[in-house]
Every structure is written in C-alpha cells, then in structure tokens.
Structure 1
Amino acid sequence: MAIDPNFDVNREQVGEENGLDVWGPVDPPKKLGIRGTHVAVDYDICVGDGACLEDCPVDVFSWVDTPDHPASEKKVEPTREDQCIDCMLCVDICPVDAIDVDASRE
C-alpha cells in the first residue's frame, strides 16, 4: 500500500512536529500519520531503509526515532523539504512507496 497522493485532501492536518505538518490519524506508537507537505513521508508504511536519505542530492531527509512502531523504529523525516528540487529520486527509490513529492503543495 503506497502513500495516498491526495493525503492533503483526504486526511486532516492534526498538528506540527519539528516544523513539519502532521496529517492524521495519529495514535502513537502504532499510527504515526504522514509528515511533511511538499515532500511527504507516510510514517505508517516507511520501513526506514534510508535509501532516500542516502541518495537525495540536496539532503532533504534526516533520521528520527519512532520507538515501538511495527514497521521500523526509525523513519526518515523530510526535515528540509523546502530544499527539495523535485527530482523525484526519493519517490522512485523508496521500496514501499512511502514518499510523495508534489510541487503544487508548497
């Protein structure tokens, strides 16, 4: 199951964390929602393999701890989503399709 490309319409923004919008539902530690807007990561399906973090040419991502989450205990956070150049490499390389980049959602 991939990230919903229309999450900003289909989900409610439930807050902000580390300067990023958080889209629900959120019920830690099992449900963590989506983080980011322009560059969005679905924390509920992210397996934390780090390919996006390693390959991003402008270092959009950083690691965050997500203890006791069933998919992985660390996730990639689009900490610097404002630096994104819309190359889509992160979208293409994510093994579980947990990332969406949409320039219209800036």
Structure 2
Amino acid sequence: MVISPFLGGMIDIIGKRGYLALLTAVLTIPVFGLLAFSDVYPLVATVWLGLTYSFAAASMWPSIPLVVTQATVGTAMGLTTSIQMIGIGISNLVVGQILGSDKAG
C-alpha cells in the first residue's frame, strides 16, 4: 500500500512492462507453496503476494491505453475489468465447491 503510488512512475522509467508482468506471475507461484507446505510465518507470504500483485497491476493496467486506440480506451478498460470480475466470481464458486464438498461420504 505504501509503495503502490510510486510503482507506476518507477515502471515508466524502467519500461519492459511485459517482462515485468511475466516475472510477477512467476514470482507469485511460490507464495502458495509457502502457505500450504511450510512453517513460514504467513505474514511473509502475504507481503510477498501483495508486492507481486502491486507490481503486476502497476505494469499491466497502464498498458491497455498503449495497445488500443484512444477512442476505445474506456471500452477496453471496462471489458478488462469485467473479465477480471468474472474470473474472480468463478474462482469463488470453485473454492466454495471444494470447501463445501463432503470428504467422508
């Protein structure tokens, strides 16, 4: 939360948004292994996840106006947000189904 406002400016200076987005996706994977299979304090994994998500958001969302015409930026942002929310909704349904399943029966 503290560094997020500065990430956009830093990424504008560095560039390489695509590589950074890929790197953040790869760096997110070990977080779930840490949470599931280790005795590492959960705050470590939570901070790691927050940092990777902040870098991912700061590198991907500003890329949309760079790849679509100025006349379609609003539509592209709306469509992207809608697709993201559909994914979050489906993920919640899947997790609910997994957690609600009866393992004994």
TM range (shorter): under 0.3
Find the structure with the greater CA-based Rg. 2
Q: Indicate the structure with greater strand content.
A: 1
TM-score, L = length of structure 2: 0.26
